[in-house]
Amino acid sequence: MSEINELREYFAEIMRLNYISSLLNWDQEVNMMNYKSVDGRSKQLSLIRKLIHRRITSEKVGKLIKEAEKLSLNEIESAMLREITREYNLETKLPEKLVTEIAETSVLAAKDWQEARAKSDFSIFEKILEKTVDLQKERAERLGTHPDLYSTLIDLYEPGVTYNWIANIFNPLRPKLIDFVKKLNSSSDKPDGSIFKKHYDEDKQFELSRKIIEKLNFDFGYGRQDKVTHPFTTSLAALDVRITTRTTEPFPDCITSTIHEYGHAIYEMGIKKELHDTILCTGTSMGIHESQSRMWENTVGRSKEFWMYWYPTFQEYFPENLKNVPMEEFHRAINIVEPSFIRVNADEVTYGLHIILRFEIEKDLIEGKIQVNELPEIWNSKFEDLLGIVPPNYAQGVLQDVHWSSGYLGYFPTYFLGNLYSAQIYANASEKMPNLPDDYKKGEFSNLLSYLKENIHQHGAIYRANNLIKRVTGEDLNSNYFLKYIEEKFTPIYRL
């Protein structure tokens, strides 16, 4: 057996350990594990993380990598060796004690975050967040993949990307988004969102959300959907993908978040069988992953053509709320652009401002320019600068996201990168298939899905994000596609 095949089999077991870890996390969130059981779960996850760390950093892996580098490899094998080498180089820089402490702290922090958010009391979360930030700083210092700590953390989620590269994209967009929001809100004929303030039965919401993703070709033979506090998607095997949603937020959050998580899931489900149980059996970056979910949620799921097909069904489910509301007004309402407090409920235009806020705060937090106890005040100040409103409490402000409790500093910027990748990829798909909107009117979504599977999904992590976007669209990431998209979409919705 060649060294590359030995590495493939060796890392197949590591992938399965990761799936077990994901299963424990999934159980904690979906089954709402009692807080008194958290300590035991933290020890379990810490042990699995320790076992994964030991396997990746073993002398055997180092020797196999050196021998595999001498071989003549095909494209998949080369990509596999690239990713295995990356994991080996990262893990060998981290002491076992730090790895297990990060894993254990994330579980305990999640418990404190849930309580703090429920009570809108930042002090409950403050102490363990300080520990989490310190652990991530130490992690970044030991990894040292970039001169600055924040770029090192970003690189974990968007390989090869730095703070400066993202800042050069986000900084010019910042004033353009703020100005565009003001332009839309100057309209004398803005959409009316009052229909979403009515009561929508939670069971019917969930049933309808399942019906929609079934029509979008989600195979419940390989996946399932559950309710949680904060929606997410996770893979428990190559063909076991779980999505979640919530029915407690203002309607239609259950529908849009379900379609969003479907986008993540269908990406994982579309990876070609040859990559199953390998280190390549995942999305190539969180930005590309997010591009798939944002495309389905917004570009497709908030399009007029989508609602030309689905709105009659919605009226059947909620006749009292929607019987006298024309489809066009519903479509305008579902695309309202206005500053709001909660990121996951934000519209397509202001969403980027929510991410820029976190991007700027995280950079200063990691560099020690601000301290954890200052976060609520700084959050509110920056929120007012970017969105013109101030959160009324911590639950709708600094405590709204689960990410920091998990230690995911550096993750947030990938969300807005996803919007930008999405617009560019969809522009290419539309050029090749100009009749896509007509498909949606008929409830037909397989043509877009086939395009995405062929160009994005099947490749897993074979290509890095920068190479993939150029391979698909012929150019590097270009934010002008996103600006063109929102201009063409929202100007007529706001009747400007």
Bridge-based pairing state of the strands 223-227 and 240-245:
parallel
CB atoms within 10 A of CB 432: 10
Residues in the chain: 496
261 is catalytic: yes
In angstroms, the CA 235 to CA 217 distance is 17
> For the stretch 49-80, what's the b/e string if a residue is b when 16 or more beta carbons lie within 10 angstroms of its beta carbon?
bbebbebbbeeebeebbeebeeeebeebbebb
CB 440 within 8 A of CB 300: yes
From the list 29, 77, 261, 290, the catalytic residue is 261
Phi, psi angles (nearest 5°) of residue 218: -75, 125
In angstroms, the CA 60 to CA 75 distance is 23
CB 300 within 8 A of CB 306: yes
Residues with Cβ < 8 Å from 389, sequence gap 6 or more? 339, 340, 341, 383
- By annotation, the residues acting in catalysis are 261
